[in-house]
Amino acid sequence: MTPALATLAVLRARGPLETLWLGTADSVEERLTAEHGIPFRAIQAGKLRRYLSLANLIDAGRIPLGVLQSAAALRRFRPDVVFSTGGFVGVPPVVAAAPLRLPTLIHEQTAQFGLANRLSLPFATTVALTYEASRAFLPRTRRRVVVTGNPVRADLRRGDAAEGARLFGLDPVRPTIYVTGGARGAHAINATVGALLPGLLDRCQVVHSCGPREANGDFDALTARAAAWPADLRARYAVREFIGAELPHLYALAALVVGRAGAGTVAELATLGKPAILIPLPGTGGDEQTKNARMLADAGAAIVIPERDLTPATLAATLDRLLGAPDELARMGTAARTQAPPDAAEHLADELVRLVRRPRKP
């Protein structure tokens, strides 16, 4: 959702804007659009899996229904342009827009060109990619293709390291590692980092976002372990179920990030110039997280450890080497920034305005 919200914020700053968000009922996007005052209409959306599943048959029936619902919503709302940021919920509106002769921009957030956007491609007007190298994954097309980058929250650029240290009760000078498994956490990462504690704290501080209790039991286990440590070590470890408004300041404080390689995380690392150790989530469609991680690794901005190779010894060796090489961390951070086109939200907004002004075919 972040790319869409960031782009809408740019468009709103330029002048009056009417928006309608199409998404699935009882979803995160329904909640967040309400928080941002964006009108929302629920549609059906199916997910096509790359393996045999009865759910594929069920979801296949949802897609035509979603197209009909989207067409009805678009006829009533009469937009000038349709914007999809990928995902299967974006397919019905893009398909519905074509017979209505509405120009459509589809944005691919990941390094590869995902299945949902492959389905949308024949009906799209413009394709926006996050990375230049992603052209290699794009099917042959006559559609306009542009590289815009992937917008991140504007406030992430305004983080303050000293404030980050204050918020987490940490030393502003000692190196800080930010460990994250994404919104739901990652038990494999949590367990591996947990095995290195408290010894790792002899040379750094750790802010550990381990995921909510309902996703895994790691928060309670890690909290209980930390309670038994000496006070000086406890002061160097902050474990949280999730990171909220503190995130900009935490990024500013962090010398190194350890985490998954989702599209949002990789975009944030590149935009903020943060070196990283990435452990891609295995088993995703098309192994998209590995491709995301490799984009940064190939630029010299990250080290990739496949989850099958993740052990306490492997992670400890990588951390020891990087923490002992501040010059290498600095080079990795500089390399990360080369993978983030500046002003991605502005570029996407420009493309949307271009489509609105584009002469329509009769």
Q: What is the mean pLDDT of each run of 10 residues along the chain (362 residues)?
A: 90 95 90 91 74 54 88 97 94 97 96 92 97 91 96 93 98 98 93 97 97 92 96 97 95 98 94 97 83 95 98 98 97 96 94 88 56
> What H or E segment, with its residue span, contains residue 225?
helix 218-227
The CA distance from 240 to 189, in Å, is 14
Structural tokens at position 278: 């990435």
For the chain, strand residue ranges (E) read: 21-23, 40-42, 82-84, 104-108, 126-129, 144-147, 176-180, 205-209, 237-240, 256-259, 276-278, 302-304
- Return the CATH fold of 2-149+342-357: Rossmann fold (3.40.50)
* Sequence spans of domains, the chain: 2-149+342-357, 155-337
Q: What's the distance, CA 116 to chain centroid?
A: 16
* Residues contacting 292, CB < 8 A, separation 6+: 110, 111, 261, 262, 263, 266, 280
- Return the CATH fold of 155-337: Rossmann fold (3.40.50)
The CA distance from 322 to 345, in Å, is 32
pLDDT of residue 362: 54
The CA distance from 203 to 143, in Å, is 52
Domains 2-149+342-357 and 155-337 share a fold: yes
CA atoms within 13 A on the CB side of 347: 20
pLDDT of residue 92: 96
- Other Cβ atoms within 10 Å of 80 Cβ, number: 13
**pTM above the 0.85 mark?**
yes
Decide the pairing of beta strands 21-23 and 82-84.
Answer: unpaired
Structural tokens at position 22: 């199409």
| Gap between the terminal Cα atoms of the chain | 33
**259, 265 Cβ separation under 8 angstroms:** yes
pLDDT of residue 52: 47
